[in-house]
Every structure is written in structure tokens, then in C-alpha cells.
């Protein structure tokens, strides 16, 4: 790991001197094509991942080939969420998630499990039934035990709780907070650990990249959970950036303070959207957004993975959610790499042995 840190200093110096990521040298005749993200990340001792859209994985050959070639971890974009795994109470559907786990095994990839406790994408039977707090706590316990047990030994990281704080650092209103109080977080980690003691258990959120009220709230929570012996082991930064808001500062300092508390860190859902149409300035700003987070990860000691929330604009969630925005991933809709792809590749190459 120390080698990577030393190489990383060189990396940052190089980038500072050149004012930006070096562009990849084109393949010369008789020379092999530039190496892909997965191989370069291996050399830099980092896992690189993508969220996977299961319909695309089944139907789109070029997409499927790229998932296997470019990435060493996969995350289910939707199929491990509660609404997908238990659509009716007591009726589980693991089929799609199992297909992803099988794909990962066949391609020697690790799986990031996403996500056990969230305010979104819960089944209607959970949100629309009038459970007492005692009943709801049991419903949540059973869900976590069932799902983590189903995937025991097959999931590397679990995003145990997702998006539990508001940007100002206050607790986010949710069915869990309202009925169970903040103690649901400690419970969730304990249940997940009980069901798979070997999985690494993460907190996960957005707008928590740098030092901020939100990341301060996580820092205080982790200290408290650690003091109570709760098995919280990872701090996940989604990394949904947008060129119009700029690149967050203090990212490395933030990673380091969580690592000092004994946590691993990870970027879990990186994309960098832009107001459409794209232009060369936005495209360059996007490349810088991707590399700023990757550089922080490479310079930290325990940042173990960097995951894209989809790698191609063909299937990105962004246009459907952010009106007028898009082009948020490193490959365009035809699966051609954009400057962001070259920037990621060059950053990994500089950091690798």
C-alpha cells in the first residue's frame, strides 16, 4: 500500500506540473492498444467497479463484454434493493441478483451489495402497512438477516445504510427514523454482521465527499458507533458530481479522518453529469471530476474501491432523474470512450507499479 502512496505523490506532482491529466498516447502500429481500466487498477492495488443494469447485461453484448473487461467489482444498480428482493412479504426473488453474482464469479469480480436500509425503493407492503414500531423493527431485522444470509460469502462490501443524513447533518426523515429512532443504524450493522461476519459493512451517502456538515455528522456517528462496539467498517462516498457545481474540496482530508477511525473508504457511485448539450469545456470539467475523486482514493491509505454508477450514457440513470442533464459517464451512448475515460486510465497508469 505504501508503494501506492509514494507513487501517488509522484502522480499528484505530475498532474500539478502539467496542469491536468496527460492525454493517453495513441497506440502505435505494432504496439498493443492502451490497457483498460481493470488491468491498470490491479497494478495500482485498487478495485474498480460499475453499477450493472441487469437488462443491459442480458441483452447487450458490447455492454456485457465491457463489464467483464474493464471492471473488477460490480454493484447491482437495482436488483438487490428491498423492493426487488422481497416484492411481497415473505416472497423472495433473488433471481436477478443471483445472475449478477454468477457473472461476477465467472469474471473473477467482487460484488458490492447495495443496499439494505434506505428510504427509497422499499416494497409497498413495508411502507403502506401500519406496523407498530416493534413489528417494524422485526420486519427490518428479518429483511437484513434474510438478504445477507442469502448472499453470505458472495458479497464483499455491503452498503448497510444508505443516505441517512440531510446535507445540513441532521437525520433524514424516513420510515426507519420515525418509527425506530436513530438506533436503527446500530441495529442494522449488528444484524448484517451476524448474518455474514466476513462482509465489510459500509455507510453510504452523496454530497459527503469533502469536509462538510454532512460528513461531520458521519464522523460523529462513526465515533459513537465504534465506542459502542458496533461493526461499522466502511465509509462510502457515492460521488454523484455535476460540472456546474464544481469539484468538491478536502476530499483526501475527509477520507483520511475516517481511515484514522479504523474505517476503509470507497467511492461507490461516481458519475459526473452536465447540463445538456455537452461542449468541450464541460467534457473537460467532467474528466477532472472523475480524476479528482480517483486521485484522492489513490492517495488515501485504505480507499479500496472506486465504482462508477454505470459506465455508458446508453443506460445512465441521470437523464431520467435530472431534467436537462446527462452525459454523466465515461463512455458515450455508442460505447465509445470519452475524455473522462482516458483521464481515468491515465490517472491509474500513473499510480500503478
Half-sphere exposure of residue 241: CA atoms within 13 angstroms, side-chain side: 29
Q: At what angle do helices 280-299 and 2-18 cross, to 10 degrees?
A: 150
77 is catalytic: no
Of 14, 35, 78, 166, the residue at the interface with ligand XIL (CB under 6 A) is: 78
128 is catalytic: no
Active-site residue (options: 70, 77, 86, 163): 163
Of 37, 52, 77, 241, the residue at the interface with ligand XIL (CB under 6 A) is: 77
Closest by Cα among 244, 240, 257 to 303: 257
Number of neighbours of residue 186 by Cβ within 10 angstroms: 18
Q: Where are the alpha helices (DSSP H) in 71-206?
A: 82-85, 95-106, 124-127, 133-150, 175-180, 184-195
**Which 3 state secondary structure label does DSSP give 122?**
coil
Which 91-150 positions form the footprint of ligand XIL (CB under 6 A)?
none
Q: At closest approach, how far in Å is the CB of 104 from ligand XIL?
A: 18
Q: At closest approach, how far in Å is the CB of 289 from ligand XIL?
A: 16
Contact call for residues 84 and 93 (beta carbons, < 8 A):
yes
Q: In the complex with ligand XIL, which residue's Cβ is closer, 26 or 320?
A: 320
Of 50, 85, 162, 207, the residue at the interface with ligand XIL (CB under 6 A) is: 162
202 binds ligand XIL (CB under 6 A): no
317 binds ligand XIL (CB under 6 A): yes
**Which 3 state secondary structure label does DSSP give 297?**
helix
Which positions ≥6 away from 202 have C-beta within 8 Å?
A: 157, 158, 159, 160, 233, 234, 235, 236, 264, 266, 268
Residue appearing with cell numbers 469536509 = 211
Q: At closest approach, how far in Å is the CB of 211 from ligand XIL?
A: 21
Q: In the complex with ligand XIL, which residue's Cβ is closer, 34 or 319?
A: 319
312 binds ligand XIL (CB under 6 A): no
Closest by Cα among 243, 240, 249, 173 to 211: 249
Q: At closest approach, how far in Å is the CB of 249 from ligand XIL?
A: 22
Q: Are strands 47-52 and 73-76 parallel, antiparallel or unpaired?
A: parallel
- Position of minimal CB gap to ligand XIL: 317
Size of the site for ligand XIL (CB under 6 A): 6
Active-site residue (options: 70, 86, 209, 269): 269
Q: In the complex with ligand XIL, which residue's Cβ is closer, 274 or 299?
A: 274
Of 39, 109, 174, 238, the residue at the interface with ligand XIL (CB under 6 A) is: 238
Supply the residues annotated as catalytic: 163, 269
User: What is the binding site for ligand XIL (CB under 6 A)?
Assistant: 77-78, 162, 238, 269, 317
Amino acid at each position: 500500500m505504501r508503494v501506492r502512496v509514494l507513487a501517488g505523490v509522484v502522480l499528484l506532482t505530475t498532474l500539478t506540473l502539467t496542469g491536468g491529466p496527460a492525454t493517453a498516447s495513441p497506440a502505435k502500429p505494432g504496439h498493443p492498444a492502451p490497457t483498460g481500466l481493470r488491468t491498470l487498477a490491479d497494478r495500482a492495488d485498487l478495485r474498480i467497479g460499475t453499477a450493472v443494469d441487469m437488462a443491459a447485461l442480458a441483452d447487450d453484448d458490447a455492454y456485457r463484454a465491457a463489464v467483464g473487461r474493464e471492471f473488477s467489482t460490480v454493484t447491482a444498480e437495482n436488483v438487490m434493493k428491498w423492493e426487488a428482493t422481497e416484492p411481497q412479504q415473505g416472497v423472495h426473488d433473488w433471481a436477478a441478483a443471483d445472475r449478477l453474482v454468477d457473472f461476477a464469479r465467472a469474471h473473477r469480480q467482487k460484488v458490492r451489495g447495495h443496499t439494505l436500509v434506505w428510504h427509497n425503493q422499499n416494497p409497498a407492503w413495508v411502507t403502506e402497512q401500519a406496523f407498530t414500531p416493534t413489528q417494524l423493527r422485526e420486519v427490518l431485522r428479518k429483511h437484513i438477516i434474510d438478504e445477507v444470509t442469502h448472499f453470505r460469502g458472495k458479497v464483499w462490501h455491503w452498503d448497510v445504510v444508505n443516505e441517512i443524513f440531510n446535507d445540513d447533518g441532521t437525520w433524514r426523515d424516513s420510515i426507519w427514523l420515525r418509527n425506530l429512532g436513530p438506533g436503527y443504524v446500530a441495529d442494522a450493522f449488528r444484524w448484517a454482521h451476524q448474518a455474514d461476519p466476513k462482509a465489510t459493512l459500509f455507510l453510504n451517502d452523496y454530497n459527503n465527499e469533502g469536509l462538510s456538515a454532512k460528513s461531520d455528522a458521519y464522523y460523529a456517528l462513526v465515533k459513537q458507533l465504534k465506542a459502542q462496539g458496533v461493526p461499522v467498517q466502511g465509509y462510502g462516498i457515492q460521488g454523484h458530481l455535476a460540472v456546474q457545481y464544481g469539484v468538491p474540496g478536502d476530499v483526501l482530508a475527509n477520507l483520511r479522518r475516517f481511515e484514522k477511525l479504523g474505517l476503509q473508504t470507497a467511492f461507490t457511485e461516481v458519475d459526473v453529469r452536465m447540463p445538456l448539450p455537452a461542449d468541450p469545456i464541460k467534457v473537460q470539467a467532467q474528466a477532472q471530476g472523475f480524476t479528482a475523486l480517483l486521485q484522492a482514493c489513490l492517495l488515501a491509505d485504505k480507499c479500496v474501491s472506486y465504482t462508477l454508477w454505470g459506465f455508458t450514457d446508453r443506460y445512465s440513470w441521470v437523464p431520467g432523474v435530472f431534467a436537462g442533464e446527462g452525459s454523466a459517464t465515461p463512455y458515450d451512448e455508442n460505447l465509445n470512450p470519452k475524455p473522462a475515460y482516458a483521464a481515468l486510465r491515465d490517472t491509474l497508469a500513473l499510480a500503478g507499479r
